[in-house]
Amino acid sequence: MKKKMHGDSRGFWGSLFTLVLIGVLSGCSGAPQHALVWTDVPELVIAAQLFNIENAQLAVDIEYKANAASEMKKANKPPSLVIAKYLLSDSLIKNFDSLNDLFSKYYLDPNDMYPTLLDAGKLGTEHLLMPLSFDCMVLVERKAESSGAGVAMLNADMLQSSSKAFTKLDDGKVSAMGFSPRWNLEFAEDWVLAGGAGFSLHQNWKSTSVLRPDDIYSWPILWNKENLETSVDTLVSFGANVTKEQEDLFTFTYFNKPGYQLVLENRVLYWPMRASEFYKLPYSAKNQLQYRFPVVNQKIIFTADTRYMGIPRGAKNKKAALAFVRWLLIPKNQNKVWKEMELQQLLPDYIPFGGFSSIMQMNEDIFSKYFPEYRQNPLIPSSLPNPPVLPDYWDSFSRDFLRYWLDDILSDSVPKGSVDEHFRASFERYLGTMPDWLTANR
């Protein structure tokens, strides 16, 4: 049985593939039907090992793809199954087969999964994608600071007021600061996405189109002007009681250690980070910390990499692919993956599937078993938003433009109502560099 891994920057996983290969070979007999799986989730190698050992007639081969969604768009021969981020976009989701058989023939219970995640993978009445995992942003704080707060979430008003009250200035210099979105631009980006800014590919855009500042439909990307301006104005307000120069001096002076250490030292009130990263912190630190969920419109804030599973149209060996999807969505099987990762001493440095499970029971029973901190502030299904629908080129767009622009506009004093104008001017200059994703989508 053959295992492939291409382009993985996490060299650690090379040795893991070797270990898994040995285990899979020992568990295979006969000539099972093989399904080729493209994924950007390295931990699925362990799931494949367990699945192959348990099934005599069906097997899966894992091939790592750093950007499986983009590979899908240019593949002449699709794989049997894709498990990756960025599959929800309109240009991709329509290229997958229905997974309705999971409910009618494989007796999967849709009530086991978070409703918003499950519904996002539907097109009409057809389930084309099934959710596997997701992550979200949290604000980490000292337990003593909020022991009597009694709330698990922080909206914009609460965040602004508590941050302002915590901030201290001595002789015009900041000695303690509540919060700033500039400390984590991923947080700022996810906040803007949660606010409905959009940034979707304009399907009717042509390479011959002439950019017109007053006509959004002449641009290769569409966005919501009002939502973008509202989200950025809110982000700016979080640090409105100090100047850029004061904040820069504060970060230069104190930010020579991890952010959670600054929280423990009472230097900052909140530190933004992914929930998955919080759980990986040393126990000695987590024992003194807790987290709350920042919310937009009373919904928590997803990160950009929610993972979905789909079977491409025209794929071969769909039976094995469908069986593997079903296997992954059974709690006891996900529990096996956790146990195997524990046995191989991969926990807590690596969390199975990269974050929270799409299966509610998994988070309440298994995730909380390995990370007891979860019980202090568990997920509430009704607080989960629809996951962001992002284009396959998002990593490039985010890295090379959006986060630079957010840092720029959060650092400058932009008059209220000028955010969209600032965005268009910056975006036009960026398009002049002819980014790879723009060339690929012509």
Smallest CA-to-CA distance from 176 within 266, 290, 273, 271 is with: 266
Give the model's pLDDT for residue 417: 67
Domain limit, last residue, from 379, 394, 429: 379
Give the model's pLDDT for residue 432: 86
> pLDDT tens digits for 386-401?
999 999 999 999 999 9
Hunting for tokens 């309705």 — which residue is that?
100
Give the model's pLDDT for residue 8: 44
Query: With pLDDT > 90 as the criterion, what percentage of the chain qualifies?
Result: 74
Domain limit, last residue, from 332, 352, 379: 379
* Residue 375 reports pLDDT greater than 90: yes
How far is the C-alpha of 305 from the C-alpha of 276, rounded, in Å?
Answer: 12
> pLDDT tens digits for 17-31?
444 443 444 444 457
CATH number of the domain within which 142 lies: 3.40.190.10
- Whether residues 27 and 49 share a domain: the answer is yes
368, exposed or middle or buried, with CB in 10 Å at 0-12, 13-18, 19+? Answer: middle
* Residue 40 reports pLDDT greater than 70: yes
The least confident of 36-50, 126-140, 233-247 is 233-247
How far is the C-alpha of 122 from the C-alpha of 383, rounded, in Å?
Answer: 20
pTM above 0.85, yes or no: yes
Give the model's pLDDT for residue 150: 54
- Whether residues 259 and 119 share a domain: the answer is no
* Residue 97 reports pLDDT greater than 50: yes
- Whether residues 324 and 231 share a domain: the answer is no
* Residue 205 reports pLDDT greater than 80: no
What's the domain range around 294?
137-302+386-440
- Whether residues 88 and 119 share a domain: the answer is yes
- Whether residues 196 and 294 share a domain: the answer is yes
- Whether residues 282 and 421 share a domain: the answer is yes
- Whether residues 170 and 186 share a domain: the answer is yes
Give the model's pLDDT for residue 12: 47
